[in-house]
Chains A and B, each alone.
Chain A
């Protein structure tokens, strides 16, 4: 069983479109995150949810909206996609006693 699974793995879309990425964890962790990894491989936190509550919202355009229907799921919706949004997006989860477990990533390409 995959501990943190995110879909889709690849996403190619045109500028201006709206898209969603889904993430689910079966580890029983309380906290979930979205990270963006750009072409230089830098991992930057975007959002964090703890028990469905938003606890971290870094400087991210409001075109990005996370949604956590329950503590096992954290989805990311992106409106009006721009070329600069092209990156790999990683979902992750953690608990107090454990480090991060990352999902396999979603490679978003905006054309």
Chain B
């Protein structure tokens, strides 16, 4: 089955700086890679996703890059704000079966 590894487990940045979270996956058949943000006590919510036929996708301050050859993908958040503080999960998916990374707790210090 798929194995998704995520790093770092915690990340602390100053407001306005960039944050990068990295994930690797093992199953070359995985073709869909979503990122979820989970605020304290709330449900995980989709913030951005990328499919295997695309190398990069951007939505305002967040972007995701995918390297299929190396089997890794990353989340980039620029100009971080305190409200970006949350736990972020990556996932790899094939045929609707999602495997989540272990999560990254991002703390943006004002």
Contact = CB atoms under 8 A, between A and B. Distances in A.
B-side interface size class: 20 to 34
A105 interface: yes
B5 to A, nearest CB: 12
B44 A90 contact: yes
Contacts of B105: 41
A101 to B, nearest CB: 8
A60 interface: no
B4 to A, nearest CB: 10
A31 B96 CA distance: 8
A42 B91 CA distance: 12
B100 interface: yes
Contacts of B99: 45
Interface string A49-92: 01000001000000000000000000000000000000000100
Interface of B: 32, 34, 36, 38, 42-46, 49, 87, 89, 91, 93, 96-100, 102-103, 105
